[in-house]
């Protein structure tokens, strides 16, 4: 079974540019999450999809961040325009719907974003 895949693995952009990160969850996983880790700090929650619907986006830092999950399969996270403080590793995770196993997230390897 393929795991959670993320693309790109590393992106280096200049302040003011746009970057789009993509996440392909495990097939059949309706829960999809985005998290971010800034160096040396905690892994912070950004948002949670159930299928194509945004269930909770309370962790999104501001309106420069836009997440979508059209069709309830893969998801994208766009940062526009990027700022220096957006640098970090963006993790995507997925889990099946339902009580059993829903809380155990399977993470992708992350997309490292460096804003210069």
Partner 1 sequence: GESVGLHLPTLSVQEGDNSIINCAYSNSASDYFIWYKQESGKGPQFIIDIRSNMDKRQGQRVTVLLNKTVKHLSLQIAATQPGDSAVYFCAEIPGGSYIPTFGRGTSLIVHP
Q: How far apart are CA 55 and CA 36, in angstroms?
A: 18
Q: Is 26 in the site for partner 1 (CB under 8 A)?
A: no
Q: Is 43 in the site for partner 1 (CB under 8 A)?
A: yes
CB 31 within 8 A of CB 49: yes
CB of 24 to partner 1, least distance (A): 13
Exactly one of 11, 21, 48, 82 binds partner 1 (CB under 8 A); that residue is: 48
CB 22 within 8 A of CB 75: yes
Cα–Cα distances (Å) from 50 to 35, 55, 72, in that order, read 15, 6, 8
Q: Is 45 in the site for partner 1 (CB under 8 A)?
A: yes
Q: Is 102 in the site for partner 1 (CB under 8 A)?
A: yes
Residue closest to 51 by CA, chosen among 77, 71, 26, 21:
71
Can you read off the two tokens belonging to residue 72?
């309830």
Q: Is 91 in the site for partner 1 (CB under 8 A)?
A: yes
Q: Is 31 in the site for partner 1 (CB under 8 A)?
A: yes
* Residue ranges in contact with partner 1 by CB under 8 A: 4, 31, 33, 35, 40-45, 48, 56, 91, 93, 95, 102-110
């Amino acid at each position: 079974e393929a795991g959670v895949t993320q693309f790109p693995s590393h992106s280096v952009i200049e302040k003011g540019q746009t970057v789009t990160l993509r996440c392909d969850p495990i097939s059949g996983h309706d829960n999809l999450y985005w998290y971010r880790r800034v160096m040396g700090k905690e892994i912070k929650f950004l948002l949670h999809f159930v299928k194509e619907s945004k269930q909770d986006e309370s962790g999104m830092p501001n309106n420069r961040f836009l997440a979508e999950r059209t069709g309830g399969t893969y998801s994208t996270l766009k940062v526009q325009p990027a700022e220096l403080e957006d640098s970090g590793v963006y993790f995507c995770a997925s889990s099946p719907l339902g009580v059993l196993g829903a809380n155990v997230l399977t993470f992708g390897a992350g997309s490292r974003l460096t804003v210069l």
